[in-house]
A and B are shown apart, each in its own frame.
Chain A
Amino acid sequence: MSRSSPQRAAIAAQLRRQLALARAARLLLLATFLAAAAWAALRDGGPGPLAIVWVLAVGLGVWVLAGLHALRIVRCVRLGTVLMGLGQLDNAEIWLRRAVGQFTFSVRGKCLAGQQLASLMFTRGSYDATIDLCRELLRRRPGGTGRQALNARLLLADALLLRDRPVEAREVLGPVDGRRLSLVERMKLLPIRLRCQLAAGDAASAARELPEQVRLAELLDSAGAALVHALLAEACRRLGRDVEAAFLRRRAALYHDLEPLLERYPVLAPPAAAGDAPGAGPPGRLPGE
């Protein structure tokens, strides 16, 4: 389901507004607290006996209340995520948009809501909406690669690739290069990076450290493993490494049917013809099936 341009813009604008509001509210709160602490410390020319304690206690109380309020947002996001997992995308969108639209002091909570909403849009095939939301999430930290920023980056790069914008996708992944990633992050990054490299015609980079990449692919679920194997097979094919290409293609077919992958990822189109080669079908069919 694709969204109209004004709809997309409205969702992204709402997220931008809410993020700006949360940041401003936090700054205001911090400034008030610092001013109160300074007043308490300096009044009558010296530290008030217990005034600073009161200021700190009130500050702590406000902080706790803000945290409790942020929990409501997190609860909405969690519910939206569960509904998304159950395939109830309409209900999930209601909860996630509620989480994006509600005021909170927690910028992190708001970003989490925005990211899940972007993820939902991606699941629905609204790649342009995903791109808008992820760009909003990365606006303040264009080079950020923290956990949330990295997830937004991966989602954005994936959506850009599906919109056939590989150059932008490569730019988005630029800050990730050289960063030490966890195993899960490397697993998420692998297929997206391979698609970027193949789309840019850089098969040599895609086929570098092949055994390590295959090892990582083996940890993915069936569809993910099939995609990575098919991408590596395509890289090997372009480099003329036919034995490895055939082996990887056969393995990809063992993991998952290749037709849906070929439809979804045009970068894999060349092996479609090769997919008819002997040994590229699904695992050993039984007689009479």
Chain B
Amino acid sequence: MMTLAEVEQLLRRSQPASGPWRGATAALLGLSMLLGALLADPALVPVAPEYRWLVPHLVLACMAAVVLIRLAGQRRLAGRLRRAFEAVQLEDWPAGEAELRRALNAPVGPPAVRTEALLALAAVAEAGRRPEVAARLYEAVLEQRCGEPLQLHAARVALATILLRQGQITDAVNMIDRLDRCDLPEALRAGVEMLVLLRELTLGHSGEALDRAPRRRALFRRHLGTRAGYGYALLAAAFDRAGREDEARRFWHDATMLLRPAALTARFEELAPLALRYPAAERPL
């Protein structure tokens, strides 16, 4: 299981070196300068004249080797990250963690790729019930602002969720308010609505949740795919608190059609009473 210290180390090690002249670029520049010097003065390197023609070729071979080694490294990293992302998608957390640890143990070049890897590692940490580790990763992504807008948005939503669950209500509410005020496309709005719903449930404002329930249900259904199950379960919790058991039962049924009760309660502990009170949908598969 990851610790905060290990995560700090991975954050440091995965950071690409700054400046234009680094690693393979510096090596290629040095070799090019040497090649240029040899072209200008073939006697620069003290070797017997009959072997002098060989020296530039060796330099060229070194340049080709640098390029090939770099390409091989990039291909290895891409393969490792692909396996990691697949494992995370399939919720094979140990495999995902192992691949991500290996990948992030060395500089990861393109910022968006590194950010994707950090977000995947944060998902692994959340699944392993290490919210403080996940929060640190999300904070790092937001502090470094090295990702694409969609990645930064995902990090904000996930961090606000963790803060809310950890009882850091003021910070969480501020973040959620900012997200709620943003003019977002519907696909992103669906995730934010689920977060706002969780806030309302946490703060005991389930009345608001009931007012917005039809719109939210439609949004979740349209944009969240299987994750809509989490949204339906939270809506069930809101109706349950309002004493409207029929609607609560119906939403809980829909939620458990998409996701098993264990998955729902593992992600949102506040759903545990519903799992005891309402029957889950039967799953013949």
Contacts and interface: CB of A to CB of B under 8 A. Distances in A.
Given A53-B39, A182-B86, A254-B257, A282 B221 contact: yes
Contacts of B254: 254, 283-284
A244 B253 CA distance: 17
Interface size class for chain B? 35 or more
Contacts of A289: 214
A186 to B, nearest CB: 10
Contact of A283 (B53, B90, B217): B217
B236 to A, nearest CB: 9
A50 B37 CA distance: 12
B257 A250 contact: yes
A151 interface: no
Contact of A222 (B38, B221, B250): B221
Interface in A254-273: 254-256
A183 B89 contact: yes
Interface in A231-251: 243-244, 247, 250-251
Given A225-B226, A243-B284, A247-B283, A254 B221 contact: yes
B285 A52 contact: no
Q: Please report whether the interface of chain A is mostly helix, strand, loop or mixed according to DSSP.
A: helix
B258 interface: yes
A56 interface: yes
B90 A49 contact: no
Chain A contact patch, size range: 35 or more
B129 to A, nearest CB: 23
Interface in B35-72: 35, 38-39, 42, 52-53, 56-57, 60
Contact of A49 (B42, B232, B282): B42
A211 B251 CA distance: 24
A50 B53 contact: yes
B223 interface: yes
Interface of A: 47-50, 52-54, 56-57, 182-183, 210-211, 214-215, 218-222, 224-225, 243-244, 247, 250-251, 254-256, 282-284, 286-287, 289
19 contacts: A47-B53, A49-B53, A50-B53, A50-B56, A53-B56, A56-B60, A57-B35, A183-B90, A214-B285, A221-B225, A222-B222, A224-B225, A251-B258, A254-B258, A255-B226, A283-B217, A283-B228, A283-B254, A284-B217
